[in-house]
Chains A and B, each alone.
Chain A
Amino acid sequence: MFLINCPFCGEREQSEFKAGGEAHIVRPKQPTELSDDEWAEYLFMRKNIKGVQFERWNHVHGCRKWFNMVRDTSNDQIKAVYKMGEKPPVK
């Protein structure tokens, strides 16, 4: 079980958190102008990488804040956590 360093609360058990899928997928500002394919790309297509992945997490049983996490899915090492809207501190 991970020990996650919530950017607002500090280190907490993974059981307090909920994973929210791939990070940095921005909702299109003008959906009406997108083709079906472009909209489908936003809606359905997600990466599932073996290696370094950018993810959204929510401290759902804590401060309820969403934040981003960089995790290596091959060994579950958490490389960084950072607030929504911030640039990832690692590549």
Chain B
Amino acid sequence: MSNNLRFKTSKFIDETYRVSFKFNNKTYFGFKGDTLASALLANGIHLVGRSFKYHRPRGIMTSGSEEPNAIIQLHDNSSRTEPNVRATEVEIYEGLVASSQNCWPSVNFDIGGINNLLSPILPAGFYYKTFMWPASFWEKYEYFIRKSAGLGKSPKVADPDIYEHKYIHCDVLVIGAGISGIMAAKMAAKNGFKTLLVDEKSYLGGSSIYDNSEFSKINNQITSSWLEKEINEISKLENLEIKTRTSVAAFHGYNFLLARENLTDHLPINQRENKVRQRLLKIRAKKVITATGSIERPLIFDNNDRPGIMLSSAIKRYIDLYGVACGENNILFTNNDTAYETAMSLIQRGIKINAIIDNREQIDSKISYEVEKNNIKIYKGYTVVDTYGYRRINKISIMKLSKDGQTVIGDKTKLNCDCLGVSGGWTPAVHLFTQSGGKLKFREEDQVFIPNVYPSDQISIGSCNGDFGLEEIIKNTLSSIKKFLDIDNSEYKTVETISGLNQSKRNIWLLPSDKSIGKTKSFVDYQNDATAKDIKLALREGFRSIEHVKRYTTTGMGTDQGKLGNMHALGIISETAGTKMGEHGTTTFRPPYTPLTFGTIVGRNVGEFFDIFRRTPIHDWHVANNAEFENVGQWKRAWYYPKDNENMHQAVQRESKAARDSAGILDASTLGKIDIQGTDASEFLNRVYTNAWSKLAIGKCRYGLMLNEDGMVYDDGVTTRLGENHYIMTTTTGGAANVLGKLEDYLQTEWPELDVYLSSVTDHFATISVCGPNSKKIVSKVVPDLDLSDEKFPHMSFKNSKIDNIKCRIMRISFTGEHSYEINIQANFGKSVWEKCMEAGKDFNITPYGTETMHLLRAEKGFIIVGQDTDATLTPIDLQMDWIVSKKKYDFIGKRSLYRSDTIREDRKQLVGLLTENPEEVLEEGAQIVADIKKSPIEMLGHVTSSYYSPNLKKSIALGVVKGGKNMLGQKLIIPMENKNINVTVADPVFLDKEGERLNAKL
């Protein structure tokens, strides 16, 4: 290998700026402006990876985002490591570290390469066919399969980079800055449209920016010179924003697009600190112009995957843009004229072309004559039938094609080469267009799918619209943009083009071979190792739908989504099945166009912003007092307050006992609060709650149960009448937002005639609940002006009062069965009032308790928790709460459903109490309940919904739902557990103080 593969002719490479980088632990040099791929090629390296299934050596195939082979790991074992990166897209920087994937111990010698020898027994669907039986062995197979499969390694530590999301609104979005994109952006911006132009590359101009050929000219200038002037002009336009290194990932309906803007990936690591690495742009464009160009097709022949086999256009880009020769002895293999452009680029720099193999018998274009003039042998009507060389191509063999192109004839000729450029014509990049919902049509003449029906205000121009010739591109861009933007002035007077290329093509999806198909490896999907043979096998086995063939053979399922070979797969299917191309359609193009990092997707929503939480006004006190927290909806609620190394059980036992023996205090600020006002407020409550509300006196509180229209319990809470037309409703913590939404729904849509207004005031108040036999003494200290006598302030009533001149609302309501008060005060004063209560309760051992103790205390009383004891399948009757369902009211939400044939069944699951035979045994919540353990299959009667050890009753208590449980009082049931069966007795769900003596005790 000679050392000089670099030609000092490119203005895109800064040869005064040498960059060192590491590839597979060896240091190499490149120049600023290189991609990792161009720098490796300049160092004579083609072999960069191993294929997925057969572990065949693979090289750099393309020069862009369509790359299937050169997939590498960046910065392995560091926090910035990234797998599955395309070497063709990585701009090199000082200190870059890259390594090959999917090979062990090294890319040059890979043990997995044995799969290549085993390939005859690794056909399509091999894993499906082999490892499915015996089914019980799957777990054992899986471990090894997963180990040997997979591409890169995921990072092990947190990503140190910053990512963000940004919304962009524009009149016109132009995707792709090739000739047509540049022209469209200029026309839009100059005509007053706020325009955004994006391109995935670091430079503008697409593949024309390095087109210095004499064979394509615009206005008598070399294409690249003409284009440079255009770029220079548009870069000064005020109305135009240009973003390079920005790849549109998704094109959704209503012209909503997602793009990834790369900001620091081309910088040395030490220059990236505190900078945003990648930005997800959420673009809403009034009009979208897609100018994404086209992707060169490879050709499908035996052993078409060896390192050194590349797209012809890539060879041209590497020499023209990066000044890098991909080989010293080149052969081009083509079915169209574009390979001759590559040939001219090589000729101009004196790089050897051994031969050109052209499928076509007749070649009639200026450029081909020019190539021939340079004494290059063109094999017309020939095809490559095989290639040789393990780690790098060194030979090919060619044969003459028959007239119909279905077979090969004559003798085999062998030709030497170290690089084979292939060109099978061009495939319009319609990915984004189809993602947006656009429908394609198939153009028979040159066998391409092109945009047909646009689903939104958008247009495709240039070669992604099937315009391949320079003249066509410019002419059609001008006319269609004028029409699309409805403008008179195109900004272009006359654009004259000259092109030495002809659009003729001899399209053969699968090139014939002298071997039988079973003996060939003609790769269609390089990344997933799917061959033409696999596709034919799938068809033989009965697969017809393109979507099924895709999944069975994994064609197009790699990280490149088959950008190169999908068309050939379709072609081979239609040829083999004898159907028309257009009829199959294509497989679905799904976002993202190129892979996105997780960082880009989540943006700033990491760490504490990953899942935001709500804190009560008293939160800091709980933290200072050693509380453990639990998540309830978005809230952080104090769960329990461990003292002196207590575990949860010990803390809860202590808290529960204190609350009943003396005094407990609970932060209930998270309960939903809805302020209800209006002349029809009472009528409204009548309609939404199951019980009657018309007669509730001002200053009184009432517990209410809310149903869904299907009769199932939805939410519960206490509502207080503050005034004639003014109520405050409380809801469960988790249900607050949904209850408000549901009430608004009924008000706005079913009962717009009601004069009722709802406001959420959950955050406006702190709610402090003080309970226990000493609660009255404590509250009287905190609110000395208030008469707390049972006559003046009985259970289920409310008073306005003041604490230190701050207005507050005090309710005497109880969720524990104890004498208890709820103080509601402006949120800002919550913490100080809480501290006041703690101070006042010092002599009474006032004990803060969390949600766990609250649950235990209410379970002792048999009070339900909606969402724990209920699950949207229980009616109030099922909960044995018949008392709360008004018989008199004509209607309320869910009433009619309470006597549907299904809801009146006797054997519905009903809420019951459960007592264990051994009072020390605490049941597991969720455990199944059965009656007959011997029956097979065992009939499940229900499950345990709440279970605790009650320190006040000194026994285990539980609530559960049991089929027909209402009539099973005293009956013995069984809870089967993993190691034992627990005997339980069905009991009254109210375990403690059924008569309410504690609540009504004279204190």
Contact = CB atoms under 8 A, between A and B. Distances in A.
Interface of A: 1-3, 13, 18, 20, 26-27, 30-32, 34, 36, 39-40, 43, 56, 58, 60, 64-66, 75-76, 84-85
Interface in B885-903: 890-891, 895-897, 900-901
Interface stretch (B112-120, B744-752, B787-795): B744-752
B455 interface: yes
Contacts of A58: 741, 744-745
B900 A36 contact: yes
Given A32-B890, A32-B891, A75-B437, A3 B900 contact: no
B897 A43 contact: yes
Interface in B226-270: 252-254, 256
Contacts of A40: 900
B435 to A, nearest CB: 13
Interface in B729-762: 741, 744-745, 748-750, 752
B741 A65 contact: no
Interface string B427-465: 000000000010000000000000000010000000000
B890 A84 contact: no
Given A65-B748, A75-B455, A84-B752, A39 B900 contact: yes
Contacts of A84: 748-749, 752
B910 to A, nearest CB: 21
A13 B256 CA distance: 10
B896 A34 contact: yes
A80 B952 CA distance: 62
A85 B752 contact: yes
B900 A66 contact: no
B675 interface: no
Given A1-B256, A13-B284, 17 more contacts: A1-B252, A1-B253, A3-B284, A20-B745, A27-B709, A30-B891, A32-B890, A36-B900, A36-B901, A39-B897, A39-B900, A43-B709, A66-B749, A75-B437, A75-B455, A84-B748, A85-B752
A65 B749 CA distance: 10
Nearest to B252: A1
Contacts of B710: 43
Nearest to B284: A3
A3 B257 CA distance: 12
B172 to A, nearest CB: 16
A84 B749 CA distance: 6
A35 to B, nearest CB: 10
Nearest to B745: A66
29 contacts: A1-B252, A1-B253, A2-B253, A3-B254, A13-B284, A20-B745, A27-B709, A27-B750, A31-B891, A32-B891, A32-B895, A32-B896, A34-B896, A36-B900, A36-B901, A39-B897, A40-B900, A43-B710, A56-B749, A58-B745, A60-B741, A65-B748, A66-B745, A66-B748, A75-B437, A76-B253, A76-B254, A76-B437, A85-B752
A58 B897 CA distance: 26
Scoring B748, B752, B900, B901 by chain A CB atoms within 10 A of each residue's CB, the highest score goes to B748
Interface in B387-437: 437
A13 B687 CA distance: 34
A31 B750 CA distance: 14
Interface in B694-753: 709-710, 741, 744-745, 748-750, 752
Interface of B: 252-254, 256, 284, 437, 455, 709-710, 741, 744-745, 748-750, 752, 890-891, 895-897, 900-901
Contacts of B750: 26-27
A64 B900 contact: no
Given A43-B710, A66-B745, A1 B254 contact: yes
Contacts of B252: 1
A20 B752 CA distance: 17
Contacts of B752: 84-85
Contacts of A27: 709, 750
A8 B18 CA distance: 61
Closest 6 CB pairs of A and B: A31-B896, A1-B256, A66-B748, A3-B254, A27-B750, A76-B253
Contacts of A18: 741
B228 to A, nearest CB: 38
A36 B6 CA distance: 84
A76 to B, nearest CB: 5
A84 B750 CA distance: 10
Contacts of B709: 27, 43
A56 B750 CA distance: 12
Given A1-B252, A75-B455, A76-B253, A39 B896 contact: yes
A40 B901 CA distance: 11
Contacts of A26: 750
B885 to A, nearest CB: 14
B364 to A, nearest CB: 45
B701 to A, nearest CB: 27
B863 to A, nearest CB: 29
Contacts of A76: 253-254, 437
A66 B891 contact: no
A31 B896 CA distance: 6
A1 B253 CA distance: 6
B448 to A, nearest CB: 25
A66 B752 CA distance: 11
Residue from B284, B749, B895 whose CB has the most chain A CB atoms within 10 Å: B749
A82 B29 CA distance: 65
A66 B437 CA distance: 29
Contacts of B744: 58, 64, 66
Contacts of B901: 36
Contacts of B900: 36, 39-40
A44 to B, nearest CB: 8
B251 to A, nearest CB: 11
Nearest to A83: B748
Contacts of B256: 1, 3
Contacts of A66: 744-745, 748-749
B748 A31 contact: no
B908 to A, nearest CB: 16
Nearest to A29: B891
A56 B744 CA distance: 13
A18 B738 CA distance: 12
A30 B188 CA distance: 60
Nearest to A20: B745
Most buried by B among A1, A30, A34: A1
A66 B749 CA distance: 7
B635 to A, nearest CB: 19
A2 B437 CA distance: 13
Contacts of A64: 744
A56 to B, nearest CB: 7
A60 B749 CA distance: 15
Contacts of B254: 1-3, 76
B591 to A, nearest CB: 12
A68 B212 CA distance: 59
A43 B903 CA distance: 14
A33 B895 CA distance: 12
A21 to B, nearest CB: 10
A71 B821 CA distance: 52
B707 to A, nearest CB: 12
Nearest to A26: B750
B436 to A, nearest CB: 11
A18 B896 CA distance: 27
A31 B895 contact: yes
Nearest to A60: B741
Contacts of A39: 896-897, 900
B438 to A, nearest CB: 11
A75 B744 CA distance: 30
Contacts of A85: 752
A70 B619 CA distance: 46
B794 to A, nearest CB: 36
A60 B901 CA distance: 36
A34 B895 CA distance: 12
Contacts of B284: 3, 13
Nearest to B744: A64
